[in-house]
Structure 1
Amino acid sequence: MSPHAPGADLPEHPDRLWSATEPKASYDVVIVGAGGHGLATAYYLAKNHGITNVAVLERGWLAGGNMARNTTIIRSNYLWDESAGIYEHALKLWEGLEEELDYPLLFSQRGVLNLAHSLQDVRDSMRRVEANRLNGVDAEWLDPQQVKEVCPIVNVSPGVRYPVLGGTFQPRAGIAKHDHVAWGLARAAAALGVEFIEHCEVTGLQVRDGRVTGVETTRGTIAAGRVALCAAGHTSVVAATAGIDLPLQSHPLQALVSELLEPVHPTVVMSNAVHVYVSQAHKGELVMGAGIDAANSYRQRGAFHIIEQQMAAALELFPVFARAHVLRTWGGVVDVSPDASPIMGLTPVEGLYLNCGWGTGGFKATPGVGWCFAHTVANDEPHPLNAPFSLDRFVTGALVDEHGAAAVAH
């Protein structure tokens, strides 16, 4: 490792990528939440803006929440200009992130295939392809035979309940190894001076004369010049302590993996009609996601009826998986806003910044969020790419309505 590589100057144990630290009395910036978004924000605050007196607080362990519980899909083929802008920025960063962090993220651009099963699906999908192309996002429309060429194991028989009429394909999309992403970002941020404080739950925000002054935690009070909230569904809980009522609902999102299999699934396949999305991880397990549980909850497990529907959907598309065994299931907690788009920017409290409401799309946006949110925190104004996602759009009515617009918002 060169002396200037990320992590080269870390005072770490041989088995750690970053040092565990005790909280100091104060920091220039405190970031609440050590998931992908919090880690990326810390990294780009230090790298792009030279702000290194930063603490990232995590109530559990680093990247132990949604970052460890997602299905790792990365894509940017969203319909609306605002969404496509920030997700395409993220994808371009993904394409160079492994080299930049000098860490194996296992970023695999195997493409994402979104299937169409009805004439309305076909119309919506073709519309999205054209919108993507206008925004410089790679997108193709495939007929059923071309779908079969991209993914030979998909059932394109016309006699099934939801026949495949075609699909959109984004070749640059793919997957990455979520824990490697977290470790790489933490290692690089720590090398630049950022501190990580685990098992430190934020229980309240200190506000004086309309400005945030620090955070109350289970490990004492920490003063802060600025506070950035990256706690997903729990962002609303923390923000409420400063008198901010966020328009968020939290739901469990079901995921599961199979036993290890030989490589048989070459891409990522998503279907809105049967509502399942499937990829094959680097080790060989099938990784499957489904729709959110309708109940509001912070539980990190899925309901059995969701699992049953998920398996039925998967077998509709992939009969070859009929004898595969489910290895384990789990749930993540997704925070959903009224227009299914994120909330990212300033708040009525000076020095307090929001990054939440990503629903099921948070992982794919990780580096783009970090880049833009770091800019927002450092300059006290939104980056142009996250300006449309401000909290006040729910007052002005300038919504970015992604409900169903992106054909499975995962």
Structure 2
Amino acid sequence: MPRTPGADLPEHPDWLWHSPDPKPSYDVVIVGGGGHGLATAYYLAVNHGITNVAVLERGWLAGGNMARNTTIIRSNYLWDESAGLYEHALKLWEGLEEELDYPLLFSQRGVLNLAHSLQEVRDGVRRVNANRLNGVDAEWLDPHQVAEICPILNTSDELRYPVLGATWQPRAGIAKHDHVAWAFARALDRMGVDLIQGCEVTGFDRVGDRITGVRTSRGDIAAGKVALAAAGHTSVLADELGLRLPIQSHPLQALVSELLEPVHPTVVMSNSVHVYVSQAHKGELVLGAGIDAHNSYGQRGAFHTIEREMTAAVELFPMFARAHVLRTWGGVVDVTPDASAIMGLTPFEGLYVNCGWGTGGFKSTPGVGWCYAHTIACDEAHPLNAPFSLERFTTGALVDEHGAAGVAH
């Protein structure tokens, strides 16, 4: 049912959603109010008719990794399992702005993954061929073709890491991350889903091996089903049940420059020099680096990582040498042993897990929501996320995307 305007917030044209107090019980409680949690609630409602749902966020809605990523969207992953899920997500992205009736600023400007060594050339060509077999748009470009797409990129053969070619996915691009969160939240509010901010989950209620609810900083909430979508902190929540998840959390840093005129037409990613660069709609350059090596839940990292990132960016884009850094930030990425996500059922009845997306969380948002909602509603994995179950770490059926997925993003 549509929410009555002003029920728990003052009437105001700028409010996109309400922030109600939690009810005593829900059919489904989703822990984590980021992109994945919001998208999951949306597809529970749209695809399965389940709207008695609460999305719990310990801070503010989409204030975690959703607000701290570099917004790159692509589907050119190597393995069939990964390509299938990310391509499904990309197809949803292509119609999401119209479906949600909100400007997501989804810009399919393409993504270049640069190759700087003969081995990277071989890996890139292999990935292009694998993508084509999976119906994913992909091309291999030589240095001259790379320069045609991105004229400001330094393709001189005198570089320390010369550009020997690149993979190219034309349908890839970027979107405005906060607009995506706002669009989902507005749609959910209209469908009667409760978006509850400032509500930290501190434990679980259980009867034997069945989860019956959550304990929160705003009281206990009974639930028919509980779905975890809290990125790196999912392991902390699972520890409350003695469930050890094979993920490690690391800081991942990024930065933006001052506003510039439009100069960068695409997205450029480089694994050897470990930097990725795009230009946001307002004009600032958005740059990201590799993850900091240490484990941490801190949303900041070491200065030397930023220094290496800037060095790499200036080498590839000399014209950026005089650009001023406006601000830096860090997110928390959760990494599994095979660099692929975990999504599916757990040993506890009524408890579901979605984590381990590393640096691929934002781009997968609608695809994750679609598949995770199916898993929760039907109590079985969707075919696209079935390969990403917890059991693969005991069966050995890993989906090893180390290196194959490209640079952190």
Write the letter of the residue equivalent to 1:196.
L
Write the letter of the residue equivalent to 1:215.
V
- What are the equivalent positions in structure 2 for 1:142-153 lying under 5 Å apart? 142-153=141-152
- What are the equivalent positions in structure 2 for 1:333-372 lying under 5 Å apart? 333-372=332-371
Count of residues in correspondence between the two structures: 405
Q: Does 1:165 align with 2:164?
A: yes
Structure 2 distance, partners of 1:380, 1:8, is: 28
SS at match of 1:187: helix
What is the CA-CA distance between 1:10 and the residue it aligns to?
Answer: 5.2
Alignment check: 8 A CA contact 1:52 1:194 kept:
yes
Alignment check: 8 A CA contact 1:30 1:54 kept:
yes
* 53-62 or 204-213: bigger deviation: 204-213
- What are the equivalent positions in structure 2 for 1:8-407 lying under 5 Å apart? 11=6, 13-14=11-12, 15-407=14-406
SS at match of 1:364: coil
Alignment check: 8 A CA contact 2:291 2:408 kept:
no
Alignment check: 8 A CA contact 2:339 2:400 kept:
yes
Alignment check: 8 A CA contact 2:228 2:234 kept:
yes
1:140-184 residue CA offsets vs partner (Å, 9 max, x unmatched): 000000000000000000001000001010000000000000000
1:282-341 residue CA offsets vs partner (Å, 9 max, x unmatched): 000000000000010011012100010000000110001000000000100000011000
1:344-371 residue CA offsets vs partner (Å, 9 max, x unmatched): 0000000100000000000000000000
1:357-394 residue CA offsets vs partner (Å, 9 max, x unmatched): 00000000000000000000000000000000000100
Structure 1 distance, partners of 2:103, 2:201, is: 32
Structure 1 distance, partners of 2:339, 2:15, is: 37
SS at match of 2:330: strand
Write the letter of the residue equivalent to 1:163.
P
What is the CA-CA distance between 1:30 and the residue it aligns to?
Answer: 0.2
Write the letter of the residue equivalent to 2:255.
L
What is the CA-CA distance between 1:8 and the residue it aligns to?
Answer: 8.9
1:235-277 residue CA offsets vs partner (Å, 9 max, x unmatched): 0011111221101100000100000000000000000000000
Alignment check: 8 A CA contact 2:75 2:83 kept:
yes
Name the CA shift for 1:84/1:9 in 2 (closer, same or farther; >3 Å): farther
Write the letter of the residue equivalent to 2:260.
L
Write the letter of the residue equivalent to 1:22.
D
Alignment check: 8 A CA contact 1:269 1:279 kept:
yes
Structure 2 distance, partners of 1:217, 1:73, is: 33
Structure 1 distance, partners of 2:195, 2:406, is: 37
Alignment check: 8 A CA contact 1:215 1:222 kept:
yes
Alignment check: 8 A CA contact 1:255 1:302 kept:
no
Structure 2 distance, partners of 1:352, 1:409, is: 30
What is the CA-CA distance between 1:213 and the residue it aligns to?
Answer: 0.4
Alignment check: 8 A CA contact 1:302 1:329 kept:
no
SS at match of 1:395: helix
Alignment check: 8 A CA contact 2:31 2:230 kept:
yes
Structure 1 distance, partners of 2:92, 2:277, is: 24
1:6-57 residue CA offsets vs partner (Å, 9 max, x unmatched): x897556322111110001000000000000000000000111000000000
Structure 2 distance, partners of 1:281, 1:206, is: 44
Alignment check: 8 A CA contact 1:375 1:381 kept:
yes
Structure 2 distance, partners of 1:205, 1:134, is: 44
Write the letter of the residue equivalent to 1:125.
G
Structure 2 distance, partners of 1:362, 1:396, is: 25
Structure 1 distance, partners of 2:153, 2:327, is: 23
What is the CA-CA distance between 1:74 and the residue it aligns to?
Answer: 0.1
Question: Normalized against structure 2, the TM-score is what?
Answer: 0.98
Name the CA shift for 1:212/1:343 in 2 (closer, same or farther; >3 Å): same
What is the CA-CA distance between 1:189 and the residue it aligns to?
Answer: 1.3
Q: What value does the CA root-mean-square deviation take over the aligned residues?
A: 1.1
What is the CA-CA distance between 1:205 and the residue it aligns to?
Answer: 1.4
What is the CA-CA distance between 1:137 and the residue it aligns to?
Answer: 0.2
Percent identity of equivalent pairs:
80
Alignment check: 8 A CA contact 1:261 1:285 kept:
yes
Write the letter of the residue equivalent to 1:345.
G
Structure 1 distance, partners of 2:92, 2:213, is: 32
Question: Normalized against structure 1, the TM-score is what?
Answer: 0.97
Structure 1 distance, partners of 2:271, 2:349, is: 41
Structure 2 distance, partners of 1:406, 1:56, is: 30
What is the CA-CA distance between 1:409 and the residue it aligns to?
Answer: 4.1
Structure 2 distance, partners of 1:9, 1:334, is: 37
